[in-house]
Structure 1
Amino acid sequence: MRISKILLVAAVLLILIEFTPPVHGESPPMVWSTQVPYLNPSGAPHDFKYFMDIKELGFNTIFLTVPWGAVEYGPNEYDFHVLDQYMNYTRALGIRVILVFFYSVPAATGDFNATPPWLINNGELEVNSNGHPQSPPALAWWNETDRQYYFGFIKTVVSRYVNYSNFLGVLVDYGWLDDDWGPGVNGLPPGYAKSDIVMFQHWLMQVYHDNITLLNMEWGTDYRSFSQVNPPTLPFIGDWRYFQEFRVWSINETYSELFSMIRSIIGPNRLLLFYWGGSIDDIYSLQMPELYFQLAERYNVTIVLDDADWTNFAVFFGNLARVYHVHLMMEWTPVPSSSSYYGKYISHLILGYPWLIGGDYYVFIRSLDWFYPTVQLNTMATGIYELINGTYPSTKVALLYMTMFGGTYSDWRYLVHETGLIPTSLFNVNNEYAYYPFNIITVNELAAGLVNLSNYRYIILMVPEKLIPSSVRGIINQWRSRGGVLIPFNSNWLSSGLGGALSGIEEPVITTNASVEAFPIINNDSVFLALNNYGNPLNTLHVNVNLTALGLRNGTYAVINLNGGDLINVTTGGLASFNINLYYTQSAVMVGIIPVNPVNIIVNVSSVNASYNYDTGVFNININGLISPKGDYLIIALIHPNLTQAGMQFTSNGLVYESVAAGEATSNGGYFTINLKVPMYQLMLNSYTLVLNVYVISDGYVINGESYLLNVNLNSTLTPYGWVPSVTGVNLSKYAVLIMAKPPPVTTTTVTVPVNLTTTVTTVVTTTVVSTVVSTEVSTLTSTIIRSIIPESTVVAITVGVIVLIIIVALIARTKVK
């Protein structure tokens, strides 16, 4: 009996043992940031809770504006009290910080001390040819005293914080905000401050080897000295071309000095960013993208694309990033009056791959009507774009772009034309809308040997051939002698677009029944597709994706709406066809087309926790589970509201459907944990049903997919701030099998297992019990596999306990027989 008691105690202990799943690490996140002003709207520093809310909203990084005049209140006199406080707050919260510096004017942040008053009042200001200063004022580009003050300011601040654990990098600009030379004054370009003109004359001395006769022979002038040479007062007249070349040289010289100085402090690999914003064809500010990509390649600089909702900008920048190997961040300023911006920004993020490192949201001083829709899109973007990767489809067609600085009016007009020719939507060809893959290459890339023309069969000229330098025409002619086909510029394209030219030489990889934006990327045998309809609702968009033309092998593919994870279709062969709806405001959908190879595994969602943060309007949902048999799997969880809740389309003025979230985890010994942030700030009901879709991926294949209904119950409590909702319970139930290997015959019953997770949240999970009978020659063993909230470790303990009890009973029976 002593042995029996010992065995009985051992069995009970095995049943009661709690097996804690091992903690697994996460890969470093991408940069998802919001811009933070130096002070709040009342002029006071932000408190700790302000940064807590930023973290709660899903941002892992902030762009922290460092207004020059507020920190350096006098020459070499600094006040670091506020910055020290912010760096300590964010370090405690695990928020990374990018310090932002502007040479002139407030960065539209409300920080009106961006330029020190002691410099504005005493320094030299930038002016146009009539002597009128820019507004807001900007310091003269080539005033050496002011310039060194700025460099010294950056050096002092960065050196102070570079060793903080949450210091991520530096974003720096020079000149007038992010327009550099500025937008012009009264229709005239800037660059006519006294120090600018003196430097222009020095630059000419270098170009003409201090020989004024050489300049006179080329210009047809009779200057006696370089000090007599002044820049032309109007664009496109006189020697305007040389003045433009001088301003280009000024950008290269200044940023080379600035980037080199910062790199000497932060090292070669920390983030150094440049903020590009403006117009590709702006001859006043010289915001010519390729000029900055060349600098970025030299100094390992990440370019932040302002106005990423502009399609031709995003397309062009994505192409430049791939050739120059420069990282991109996409920046967006929400504009609630035009919903087209929402969907376009989200879908344009895909154009940055494979060089995309994240997104930046300019939302910090916006009203709630601006802020919360933006947060919803941020949550959607960060979750979904963390899941995907890839590169642009291969193509045999290149569009040749020529960067011009507007030396003549004719050049400038062609620059405007070729910018407008960059394809931004599907082409209407033969009564369907088609997407043809293409790359943009540039004249400068060819001249520098960065492009291998043997990769292309066709080159389409976006400007007349006569404008292309003779050296580059020689490269193109060599390519043509080897069978390349050159398609000359056609002025009819300015009205009709390039659809006719592309449709005659390239095979469409996407076709639809409506004119939308569609951008694909390829990752091994998967396709990720971004669709948007400029903010307009669209029911039943029919899409065909030619997988064969994209270079994917034949097989079975799952078409998944990544905005929530619904399985749209399972298709075989070389064509993936599906229907999808684009909803109001969002009008942007990410679709994944992923190969399928079902495997017999058991996905056990063991627990779900939920909480609601009233300040930020975000549901935090934590999902824990395990997979049997154990292995290293990639688990993807996607969630969205039930659109028909309460018997009506549940869109809450078009925003709640965008309350989607996505997360992923790699299982460790079968265990996984996924955290989701679901923004739903307009809570009108006491209970919400969310659709949770879980997919398991192994070696690039979807091997399992299941759908659950997650019911979240709420209760509101009256506080000094009004009625504040909180989660009182969550209920998870199996909804549907999406992808699964054909199981053996089973007998199915249903049980309900309540589990108290916390003092405020109770989870009730509907579970399925599958009984399988295994026969052998010796005995019959019945095993129970519980697909529920019961962990696998507990199932093992119960099984072992039962076996031990059977042995005990056998021993007792044997003793009695004796």
Structure 2
Amino acid sequence: MPRRYKLLILGAIITGLTWSVPLLSALKVSPDRPDKEAVIPSRNHPFWWAQIDFTKAHGVLWSDSDFARLARDGMNGVEINMDWADIEPQRGRFDFRLLDRYMAEAAKAHLKLYLLFWESLWGQKQGKNPPPWITERDVASDGIPAMEPPWWDERSRRAYFDYMARTIDHVKNNPGFGGVYGSYGWLDSEWGAAPKGSHGVTGYATADIQAYYRWLPREYKTIGNLNRQWHTSYARWSDVPVPRPGDPLFPLYQQFRQYSVEEAFDAFSRLIRQHTDAPLLYSWGGGISGSIGPSVQGNDPDTFFRIAKKYHAIVNLDDVDTTGFALLFGSLARSYGVPLLNEWTPWRKGQVLEIPQWLGHIGLAAPYEVGEDFFIYPPPAHRIYIAEGWKAYKEWRSTLVKVIRGRLPEQPVAVIVPMRKVSLSADLNPYPDLPQQLSDFWRHYRVLPHFVTDEQVLRGIVRLDQFRAVVDLGNEIGTLPALKAYAATHPVLKRLDQALPYLRPYAEVAPAYDPLEIVPTVEGRNVWLTLANCNETQSYNGTIVFDPAAVGLHSAGAFSVVDAKSGRQIQADRSVEGKIEWKVSLPHAGFQVIELKL
């Protein structure tokens, strides 16, 4: 996890707020339901999946009983990590026998199988993804070879695309076929982390550099345009250098690397849609800043959402237990109108607190949340907390399904997250505290601004005039014309805590306790609250005070507070201001869902 960001605590308590929260999101996209054309599940029957490798440990095959057990455990789909070398052991020679068997066994258990295509995977999958007959490898900026093929290598790209198309055509009419995960590059982190021993970035193989020189005139049209933008004086395209980290023109190469990701995702998505209309998903991994963010790996969230919108696809958020990621991606799902699937990938250090965080974050994308994915099944026997996570995943399914029927009640303040600035940064470790900064602010103050990106503002995807105030986290008022125009009539703030006079807390806890994450979703007159004690050693006993007005509801007449899992009625009181309070007791890493009926 990134190191904790220290918030500036206000010296005075903000009181006397008189504004009301609108019932609906201020963004252009209708919050009532996801894009009608996207292939998504029913609101009452979301995706509930487990991810498996192509075989069990030591090459043992999956069997009828394995799929039957997953169905009994409440799964309605299984994601399978495809081993390219097993499907296509030689170029153009395909062996679908094992995949056919899995399809039949999944269908027998009334499950759907979702194919995860990977061009290049983690170390233990070397020799499988890519297969041994793909021999080309990318190169880092300091000359060290990478594990994955060169991004722009024509031979490996054509082979990978053929493999996806041939496999989809083979299974698309099978009753066990559910859909496809598309990817390109290294795992779900695109350009991937620097190779072992490297301190640079990948994308410097001969094929990549050749593509860079083809891209320059397409992007800038004339050498004069490039010179004016970058304050250079090159006479010919061939005079433009290939910048590396530390070079003044490195942001130019960053622009090319980001273009490369968008072009590849568009290309394989177009290919997949030519072969099937089944659910298409993109798995997003890595980080939103720092050394695992877009400046190194090219994993800009906006790219995923833009392409998903175009091809009616679903974004799969890996590491949804990371609060900063979940806040941003939930907002992006709503503003782009793109369905979001959550995935928990446990950290190796074994923090049991990840379990309630992961479960509690399901409401942050409502109403665009379409389900959950568990990585990886079966839970490793030597990592006990993953087994505990699997148990919780099964037990909480029927309750969490209710939570995502509602909507997250965002408030009319926008926080501009500088994703474009991060993506094009010359710094390979920009804004390392960004996820924790978002997380700490939300946890401490329990308010719900819109988290939008500078890319959305630049492209006009989000209209700023709908907000009472905007927080400019990246100091980008000089590069975002819409923000500069907004500043003429509205407050533009520099820090998150400066937005508090324009926000209204929906909950308070006494005694104060930041590790207690509270997520509200509103369904008519009902409010669902997930309570997650994100502390693996300390229990919490205290009082929750919930403010219905902060989520756009009027509190009058009869009300009740119910433990949503057990159905137990909870003693609660209402103040003259209409706030509702009750006692809560959660063990360390505890989790609870409350239904508040107004």
TM-score, scaled to structure 1: 0.63
Does 2:591 correspond to 1:560? no
Distance change (3 Å), C-alpha of 1:231 and 1:420: farther
Contact 1:236 1:407 survives alignment (8 Å):
no
Letter in structure 1 aligned against 2:128? N
Contact 2:548 2:579 survives alignment (8 Å):
yes
Distance change (3 Å), C-alpha of 1:104 and 1:467: farther
Contact 1:557 1:571 survives alignment (8 Å):
no
Contact 2:533 2:586 survives alignment (8 Å):
yes
Contact 1:39 1:111 survives alignment (8 Å):
no
Task: State how 1:241-252 maps to structure 2 within 5 Å.
Answer: 241-252=251-262
1:460 aligned to 451, 468, 471, which one? 471
Task: State how 1:773-792 maps to structure 2 within 5 Å.
Answer: none
Deviations 1:643-695 (A, max 9, x none): xxxxxxxxxxxxxxxxxxxxxxxxxxxxxxxxxxxxxxxxxxxxxxxxxxxxx
Secondary structure class of the residue paired with 1:504:
helix
Does 2:554 correspond to 1:579? no
The CA distance in 2 between the partners of 1:28 and 1:391, in whole Å, is 14
In the alignment, what sits opposite 2:392? 377
Displacement after TM superposition at 1:106 (Å): 4.4
Displacement after TM superposition at 1:237 (Å): 1.7
Displacement after TM superposition at 1:98 (Å): 0.7
Contact 1:406 1:412 survives alignment (8 Å):
no
Letter in structure 2 aligned against 1:31? F
Displacement after TM superposition at 1:542 (Å): 1.1
Q: Relative to structure 2, which stretch is displaced further, 344-353 or 36-45?
A: 36-45
The CA distance in 2 between the partners of 1:297 and 1:51, in whole Å, is 32
The CA distance in 1 between the partners of 2:288 and 2:478, in whole Å, is 18
Does 2:192 correspond to 1:187? no
Size of the aligned set, in residue pairs, is: 539
Letter in structure 1 aligned against 2:579? L
Displacement after TM superposition at 1:254 (Å): 0.9
In the alignment, what sits opposite 2:121? 105
Contact 2:180 2:281 survives alignment (8 Å):
yes
In the alignment, what sits opposite 2:413? 397
Contact 1:543 1:579 survives alignment (8 Å):
yes
Q: From the CA coordinates, give the structure whose radius of gyration is larger.
A: 1
Distance change (3 Å), C-alpha of 1:319 and 1:236: farther
2:351 aligned to 333, 338, 344, which one? 338
Task: State how 1:165-204 maps to structure 2 within 5 Å.
Answer: 165-185=175-195, 186-204=198-216
Letter in structure 2 aligned against 1:113? K
Letter in structure 1 aligned against 2:134? L
Contact 2:363 2:519 survives alignment (8 Å):
yes
1:358 aligned to 355, 371, 377, which one? 371
- Structure 2 unmatched runs, 5+: 1-41
Distance change (3 Å), C-alpha of 1:502 and 1:485: closer
Letter in structure 2 aligned against 1:436? V
Identity across matched positions, percent: 24
In the alignment, what sits opposite 1:548? 549
In the alignment, what sits opposite 1:505? 502
In the alignment, what sits opposite 2:526? 526
Contact 2:572 2:582 survives alignment (8 Å):
no
Does 2:285 correspond to 1:277? yes
Secondary structure class of the residue paired with 1:147:
helix
Letter in structure 2 aligned against 1:485? P
Secondary structure class of the residue paired with 2:470:
strand
Distance change (3 Å), C-alpha of 1:106 and 1:400: closer
The CA distance in 2 between the partners of 1:44 and 1:530, in whole Å, is 39
Distance change (3 Å), C-alpha of 1:107 and 1:374: farther
Task: State how 1:282-431 maps to structure 2 within 5 Å.
Answer: 282=293, 283-335=295-347, 337-364=350-377, 366-368=379-381, 369-388=384-403, 389-403=405-419, 404-409=421-426, 413=430, 415-416=431-432, 418-424=434-440
Distance change (3 Å), C-alpha of 1:424 and 1:589: farther
In the alignment, what sits opposite 1:63? 79
Distance change (3 Å), C-alpha of 1:384 and 1:425: farther
Secondary structure class of the residue paired with 1:548:
helix
Deviations 1:62-103 (A, max 9, x none): 001211111000011011110000000000110111111001
The CA distance in 1 between the partners of 2:298 and 2:433, in whole Å, is 17
Displacement after TM superposition at 1:387 (Å): 2.1
In the alignment, what sits opposite 2:458? 447
Letter in structure 2 aligned against 1:396? P
Displacement after TM superposition at 1:364 (Å): 2.0
The CA distance in 1 between the partners of 2:119 and 2:207, in whole Å, is 16
Displacement after TM superposition at 1:119 (Å): 0.9
RMSD between aligned alpha carbons?
A: 2.4
In the alignment, what sits opposite 1:538? 539
Displacement after TM superposition at 1:454 (Å): 4.2
The CA distance in 2 between the partners of 1:111 and 1:201, in whole Å, is 31
Contact 2:574 2:581 survives alignment (8 Å):
no
In the alignment, what sits opposite 1:45? 61
Contact 2:298 2:423 survives alignment (8 Å):
no
Contact 1:302 1:326 survives alignment (8 Å):
yes
Does 2:491 correspond to 1:485? yes
Letter in structure 2 aligned against 1:93? A
In the alignment, what sits opposite 2:25? none
1:79 aligned to 95, 98, 103, which one? 95
Contact 2:138 2:149 survives alignment (8 Å):
yes
Greater share of residues in helix: 2
1:207 aligned to 219, 234, 252, which one? 219
The CA distance in 2 between the partners of 1:467 and 1:572, in whole Å, is 48
Contact 2:528 2:593 survives alignment (8 Å):
yes
Secondary structure class of the residue paired with 1:331:
strand
Displacement after TM superposition at 1:318 (Å): 0.2
The CA distance in 2 between the partners of 1:584 and 1:408, in whole Å, is 40
- Structure 1 unmatched runs, 5+: 1-25, 429-433, 491-497, 596-818
Which has the higher relative contact order, 1 or 2, with Cα contacts under 8 A spaced 6 or more apart?
Answer: 2
Secondary structure class of the residue paired with 2:296:
coil
The CA distance in 1 between the partners of 2:524 and 2:475, in whole Å, is 38
Distance change (3 Å), C-alpha of 1:386 and 1:111: farther
Displacement after TM superposition at 1:453 (Å): 3.5
